[in-house]
Amino acid sequence: MKWLYQINERNLNSYLKISDTSLQQFLKVRLKIGFLFICLWISGYWIIFKQMEFYKPIFLYGIIGSFLLGYKLPYFYIRVKVKQKTEQVSADFPLWLSSLEVLIISNNIPNTLKKSLITCPDSIKKDLQILVEKIEKDPMDQQNYTEFLSQYKLSDINELMLDLYQFNYLDKSLMISEFAVLHKRLNAINTSNRQHSQEQNLFFIGAINSVPLFLLSIYILLIANMLSNALMGG
């Protein structure tokens, strides 16, 4: 089920790598926020229900639930940030690859990649610098190309970088004609990215609009439960 996948943290290590965050740093943040939520729950409990009889089970469940919520929030936050960065990389990569066409006319592939660092989008510049350094050590290693931005798990990038590697074996005239074919694929990817972005924005708006109703429902249920226990106790 989808909600179980959302709770599962199987991709945590990948998210931490993309966000340049160590596991130790992340754990410290989680614990701090978890204990902060416990303090908020205790304060809120006494402020709202101080006139009612103390009901230990709900108080304890609230502490556990508050900690778990605070503990999980950083994971959801980093997951959203990585998703945003992945979408940015997905949008910037075709633009960067298209810009290589002019450089390829008077340069080989390794020099083209190196010179493209000047105008490369910020989202992929660090990874491109690493790629350039690897190619300088071993220009003909295919793995250097296929590992570029591989942490984002975008199949289109992997395929296009493999095509770019093959350009090392083409003469100039054929390389330019092949790049024209590559442009068609890049245009298709750009169109797909725009459609996906529009769909995600609509989903996000719907999710945001449902949050107040969800919180109100939880609040009403909590109040009803407390009143019921208070009346029965009386």
What is the spatial distance between Cα 56 and Cα 90, in angstroms, rounded to a whole number?
51
If DSSP codes are grouped into helix, strand and coil, which group holds residue 141?
coil
Q: For residue 3, what pLDDT is reported?
A: 43
Measured CA angle at 26 (ends 17, 146), to 5 deg: 5
% of the chain residues with pLDDT over 90:
34
Q: Determine how many CB atoms are found less than 10 A away from the CB of residue 225.
A: 12
Q: Does the pLDDT at position 111 exceed 90? A: yes
What is the spatial distance between Cα 210 and Cα 95, in angstroms, rounded to a whole number?
36
Give 135's pLDDT tier (boundaries 50, 70, 90): very high
213-222 pLDDT tens trace: 655 666 566 6
Q: Determine how many CB atoms are found less than 10 A away from the CB of residue 160.
A: 20
Asked whether 112 and 104 are in contact (CB, 8 A), the reply is: yes
**What's CA 113's distance to the chain center, in Å?**
26
The structure's pTM equals 0.71
Dihedral of alpha carbons 136, 140, 142, 146, sign: positive
Which residues are CB-contacts of 72 (< 8 A; sequence separation ≥ 6)? 7
Give 212's pLDDT tier (boundaries 50, 70, 90): low
- Name the nearest CA neighbour of 132 among 151, 123, 141: 141
Query: Which residue reads 């089920």 in tokens?
Result: 1
Asked whether 18 and 25 are in contact (CB, 8 A), the reply is: no
141-194 pLDDT tens trace: 999 999 999 999 888 899 899 989 998 888 878 887 888 778 777 777 766 666
**What's CA 192's distance to the chain center, in Å?**
18
Asked whether 156 and 163 are in contact (CB, 8 A), the reply is: no
Q: For residue 85, what pLDDT is reported?
A: 93
User: 53-57: long-range contacts at Cβ-Cβ below 8 A with a sequence spacing of 24 or more?
Assistant: 53/229, 53/230, 53/233, 55/226, 55/229, 55/230
Residue 199, burial from CB neighbour count under 10 angstroms (0-12, 13-18, 19+): exposed
